[in-house]
C-alpha cells in the first residue's frame, strides 16, 4: 500500500512532488533512474489534473509505478468506462472541479499557522483571527465531496467502484460527523453527535462562530439578577433601567472576544484539525479524490497529445517483452506533428545494441522506450499506434556518472558499482538501459569489461538496451548471434531520427563540433585572432 498524501505531508506543507522513489532493490524505479529518465519532465507533459491531490497522486504513480498486471488492468478498465459513459465522466469532472475550488482552504485549515486576533497573513499558510472562517471554509471540501458522490451511481469497473465507495464510506466516519456538527467538548475529550446519544454528562457545544446565544443570554441574565437582587444607584433597582446600565458593561464585553475566540481555537479548532490531519478516513478520501482526478488527467493527456495514442496491451510473460508501433516520445512528441516515431520489438532476443553518431537520437529513443514503459505501468495512454508490453518489475536507466572525490573509485569504479547494483536487483522481467559501459579505462579493458557485463545481463534474461559508440563491441556480439544491432539513421549528413537495422561505424564528432562552434577551424581562427 502506497503512503497516503497526508502521510507524506505530515512534516511539511502540501507539495505536489512529495513522493519518493524506492530503493534500487525494492521499487520499480530507483532515484537515479528516475532522474535519468527525466520523470519530472514526463510528469509535466502528462499532468492535466486539476486538484493538488490529483497532481500529487500522478507524481506518486510515476515515482512508484505499479508492478501488478491485475492492478494496471483495473485502472485501464476504469478509463475505458469513463470514455464510454459520458454521464459518469461529467459527474466526476464536476466533482473534481468543485474540489479544486475548495481544496486549498482545507490544506490551510490542516497545516496553517494561527496568528492570533491581531496578526495579518503574509503567506498562503497563515491564518488570521481565531480560525472560525477558515474552519468553515476548510471542511467544505470534504462535506461537498460526500454530498456530490452520493448522486453518483456505482460504476462497473472495480477500480472506479472502490474509489467511489471509499468516498461514500467517509460519510459514516467520525471525522465527517465532527465536520457536520455539532461538536461536543467534554471532560473525556471531543465527541461527535453519535457519541452523545443517550449521554447526560455536561458538555460544551462548539459551533464555529462568535455568536453564542446561550452564553450571551447567561451573561445578561447575571446582569439582570445583580440589578434585581442587589440594587444600587447605577441600576436604580428598576429592571427598565437595565438598557441604560448596559452601557457601562460594554468595555467588559471586549473581554468576551479573546476569551471565547481563544477557547474555541485552542480547545476546539486546533484539536479538530489535528484529528483530521491524522485521520486514516480523511487520508483515504483525499487519496480517492486524487486518484479520480488522475484518471481524468490520463484522458485529457491523450486528447491534448495529438497524433496516435493507445491504452497499451499488457501481457503476462516469463521475461520482459515490448512491441511498439510508431512510438513517439511522450515529452518531445506532445503537440509536435513532425516528431519521428519508431517501431521497436524486443522479444526473445532480449538484447538490443544501439549505435550511431552523436546527436542522432539514440538517447532520445531509449528515453522514449522507458517513458512509455513507465506510462503503461501507471495505467495511462501511451503515444503509439499500438503497444504490447509485459510489466517490468524493475526499470533501470544507467547513464555516465561523474565520480566523487570521496568514493575512492574513480569514474570506472563508480560506474561499475552502479552497474553491479542494477545487475543484482534485475530479474528476467526487468527493463535495463545502459548508456555506454566501462568509461574511464583503456579500450582493451573497456571491451573485456563491457563484454562480461552484457553477457551477464543476457544470461540473466532481462530486456537490455545498450547505447554505445563501440561498434567493435557490437561486432563481437553479432558474431556470436547474440542481440539485435540497431543504428540511428543519417541522410545527407543529417539525422532522420529513425532507428534501423545495422551497425554504425562512423562518427560525426566534427559535425557536432562545428554546430556548437568548437571545431578545429574554430579553434584555429580564435588563436589566429588573439595573436
In a domain, 496, yes or no: yes
Please choose, from the candidates 57, 522, 11, the residue with its C-alpha nearest in 3D space to the C-alpha of residue 285: 57
Q: Read off the pLDDT of residues 256-273 as tens digits, 9 standing for 90 and up.
A: 667 777 888 899 999 999
What per-residue confidence (pLDDT) applies to 447? 86
Q: Are residues 289 and 377 in the same domain?
A: no
Chain centroid, CA 288 distance in Å: 13
Q: Are residues 296 and 338 in the same domain?
A: no
Q: Do residue 418 and residue 342 come from a single domain? A: yes
**According to the model, what pLDDT value does residue 237 have?**
45
Distances (CA, A) of 186 to 139, 180, 203, 205, 365: 22, 18, 5, 9, 65
Q: Which of residues 271, 301, 331 is at a domain's end?
A: 301
Least confident interval from 141-150, 307-316, 403-412 = 403-412
**How remote is the C-alpha of 219 from its chain's centroid?**
53
Contact assessment for residue 277 and residue 6, using Cβ atoms and an 8 Å cutoff = yes
Question: Which domain covers residue 420, as residue numbers?
Answer: 306-530
Render the burial of 333-356: b for 16+ CB within 10 Å, e for the rest. Answer: bbeeeebbbbebebeeebbbbbbb
φ and ψ at 353, to 5 degrees? -115, 110
Question: How many Cα atoms occupy the beta-carbon half-sphere of 308 within 13 Å?
Answer: 14
8 Å CB contact between 168 and 149: yes
In a domain, 141, yes or no: yes
Q: Do 365 and 352 belong together in one domain?
A: yes
The yes-or-no verdict on residue 381 having pLDDT over 90 is yes
pLDDT value, residue 130:
85
**Does one domain contain both 283 and 416?**
no
- What pLDDT score does 413 carry? 79
Mean pLDDT to the nearest integer, 211-226: 56
User: How high is the pLDDT of residue 254?
Assistant: 66
Angle at 411 between CA 410 and CA 414, to 5 degrees: 85
Q: Tell me the mean pLDDT in the region 467-480.
A: 92
Asked if residue 165 and residue 35 are part of one domain, the reply reads: yes
* pLDDT tens, residue by residue, 318-354: 999 999 999 999 999 998 889 999 999 999 889 999 9
Q: How far is CA 489 from CA 358, 383, 469, in A?
A: 11, 21, 14
User: In 3D, which of 413, 479, 487 has the Cα closest to residue 451?
Assistant: 479
Same domain, 435 and 462: yes
3-state SS of 56-113? HHHHHHHHCCCCCHHHHHHHHHHHHHHHHCHHHHHHHHHHHHHHHHHHHHHHHHHHCE
- Region of residue 97 (left: phi > 0; alpha: psi -120 to 50; beta: else): alpha
> Does some domain include residue 189?
no
Query: Which residues have CB under 8 Å from 274's CB, separation 6+?
Result: none
Q: Distance between CA 471 and CA 479 in Å, rounded?
A: 12
pLDDT of residue 11: 78
**What gap in Å lies between CA 95 and CA 85, rounded to an integer?**
16
Q: Report if residue 201 sits inside a domain.
A: no
Query: Does residue 434 belong to any structural domain of this protein?
Result: yes
Here the cell at position 37 is 529518465
- Confidence (pLDDT) at 414: 81
Per-residue pLDDT, averaged over 167-184, amounts to 95
* pTM given for the model: 0.89
Q: Is the pLDDT of residue 431 over 90?
A: yes
Residue 145 lies in a domain: yes
CA distance 80 to 527: 64
359: confidence class by pLDDT, cuts 50, 70, 90: confident
| Three-state DSSP class for residue 203 | coil
Whether 132 and 29 map to the same domain: the answer is yes
For residue 447 the three cell numbers come to: 571491451
| Residue 190, domain member (yes or no) | no
Residues 375, 501: one domain? yes
* Residue 522 pLDDT: 78
Check which CATH number belongs to the domain holding 131 and give it: 1.10.1420.10
Query: Are 357 and 478 within one domain?
Result: yes
- Model confidence pLDDT, tens digit, residues 31-45: 999 999 999 999 999
Sign of the torsion formed by the C-alpha atoms of 242, 248, 250 and 256:
negative
Q: How far apart are CA 323 and CA 314, in angstroms?
A: 10
What Cα–Cα distance (Å) separates residue 253 from each residue in 170, 242, 256, 257, 461? 41, 15, 5, 8, 80
Same domain, 401 and 285: no
End-to-end CA distance of the chain: 68
DSSP state letters, 438-506:
S-SS-HHHHHHHHHHHHHHHHHHT-EEEEE-S-HHHHHHHHHTT-SEEEEEEEETTEEEEEEEES----
- pLDDT at position 405 is 42
Domains held by the chain: number: 2
- pLDDT reported for residue 355: 93
Query: Could you tell me the CATH number of the domain that includes residue 461?
Result: 3.40.50.300
Domain boundary, last residue among 301, 334, 358:
301
Cell of 257: 472576544
C-alpha–C-alpha distance, residues 523 and 529, integer Å: 10
Note the pLDDT tens digit of each residue in 85-129. Answer: 999 999 999 999 999 999 999 999 999 998 876 667 788 888 888
Q: Output the pLDDT for position 250.
A: 59
Q: Same domain for 433 and 294?
A: no
Averaged pLDDT, 35-63: 97
User: Does 217 reside within a domain?
Assistant: no
Amino acid at each position: 500500500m502506497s503512503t497516503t498524501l497526508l502521510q507524506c505531508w505530515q512534516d511539511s506543507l502540501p507539495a505536489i512532488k512529495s513522493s519518493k522513489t524506492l530503493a534500487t532493490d525494492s521499487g520499480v524505479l530507483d532515484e537515479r533512474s528516475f532522474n535519468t529518465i527525466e520523470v519530472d519532465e514526463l510528469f509535466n507533459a502528462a499532468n492535466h489534473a486539476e486538484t493538488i491531490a490529483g497532481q500529487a497522486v500522478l507524481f506518486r504513480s510515476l515515482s512508484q509505478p505499479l508492478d501488478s498486471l491485475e492492478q494496471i488492468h483495473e485502472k485501464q478498465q476504469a478509463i475505458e468506462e469513463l470514455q464510454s459513459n459520458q454521464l459518469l465522466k461529467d459527474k466526476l469532472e464536476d466533482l473534481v472541479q468543485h474540489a479544486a475550488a475548495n481544496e486549498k482552504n482545507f490544506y490551510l485549515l490542516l497545516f496553517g499557522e494561527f496568528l492570533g486576533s491581531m496578526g495579518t497573513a503574509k503567506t498562503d499558510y497563515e491564518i488570521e483571527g481565531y480560525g472560525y472562517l477558515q474552519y468553515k471554509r476548510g471542511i467544505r471540501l470534504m462535506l461537498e465531496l460526500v454530498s456530490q458522490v452520493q448522486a453518483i451511481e456505482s460504476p462497473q469497473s472495480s477500480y472506479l467502484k472502490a474509489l467511489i465507495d471509499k468516498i461514500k464510506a467517509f460519510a459514516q466516519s467520525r471525522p465527517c460527523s465532527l465536520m457536520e456538527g455539532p461538536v461536543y467538548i467534554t471532560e473525556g475529550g471531543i465527541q461527535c453527535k453519535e457519541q452523545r446519544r443517550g449521554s447526560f454528562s455536561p458538555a460544551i457545544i462548539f459551533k464555529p462562530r462568535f455568536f453564542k446565544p446561550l452564553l450571551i443570554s447567561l451573561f445578561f441574565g447575571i446582569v439582570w439578577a445583580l440589578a434585581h437582587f442587589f440594587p444600587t444607584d447605577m441600576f436604580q433597582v428598576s429592571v427598565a433601567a437595565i438598557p441604560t446600565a448596559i452601557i457601562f458593561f460594554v468595555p467588559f464585553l471586549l473581554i468576551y472576544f479573546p476569551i471565547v475566540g481563544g477557547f474555541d481555537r485552542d480547545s476546539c479548532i486546533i484539536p479538530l484539525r489535528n484529528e483530521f490531519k491524522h485521520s486514516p478516513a480523511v487520508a483515504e478520501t483525499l487519496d480517492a479524490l486524487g486518484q479520480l482526478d488522475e484518471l481524468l488527467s490520463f484522458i485529457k493527456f491523450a486528447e491534448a497529445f495529438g497524433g496516435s495514442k493507445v491504452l497499451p496491451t499488457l501481457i503476462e510473460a516469463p521475461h520482459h517483452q515490448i512491441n511498439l508501433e510508431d512510438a513517439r516520445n511522450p515529452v518531445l512528441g506532445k503537440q509536435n506533428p513532425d516528431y519521428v516515431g519508431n517501431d521497436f520489438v524486443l522479444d526473445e532476443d532480449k538484447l538490443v545494441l544501439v549505435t550511431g553518431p552523436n546527436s542522432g537520437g539514440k538517447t532520445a529513443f531509449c528515453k522514449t522506450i522507458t517513458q512509455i514503459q513507465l506510462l503503461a505501468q501507471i495505467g495511462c495512454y501511451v503515444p503509439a499506434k499500438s503497444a504490447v508490453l509485459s510489466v517490468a518489475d524493475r526499470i533501470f536507466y544507467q547513464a555516465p556518472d561523474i565520480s566523487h572525490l570521496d568514493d575512492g573509485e574513480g569514474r570506472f569504479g563508480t560506474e561499475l558499482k552502479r552497474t553491479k547494483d542494477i545487475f543484482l536487483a534485475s530479474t528476467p522481467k526487468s527493463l535495463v538501459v545502459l548508456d555506454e559501459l566501462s568509461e574511464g579505462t583503456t579500450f582493451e579493458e573497456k571491451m573485456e569489461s563491457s563484454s562480461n557485463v552484457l553477457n551477464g545481463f543476457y544470461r540473466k534474461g532481462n530486456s537490455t538496451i545498450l547505447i554505445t559508440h563501440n561498434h567493435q563491441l557490437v561486432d563481437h556480439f553479432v558474431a556470436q548471434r547474440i542481440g539485435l544491432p540497431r543504428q540511428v539513421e543519417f541522410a545527407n549528413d543529417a539525422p532522420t531520427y529513425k532507428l534501423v537495422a545495422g551497425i554504425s561505424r562512423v562518427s560525426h564528432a566534427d559535425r557536432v563540433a562545428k554546430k556548437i562552434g568548437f571545431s578545429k577551424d574554430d579553434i584555429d581562427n580564435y588563436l589566429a585572432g588573439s595573436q
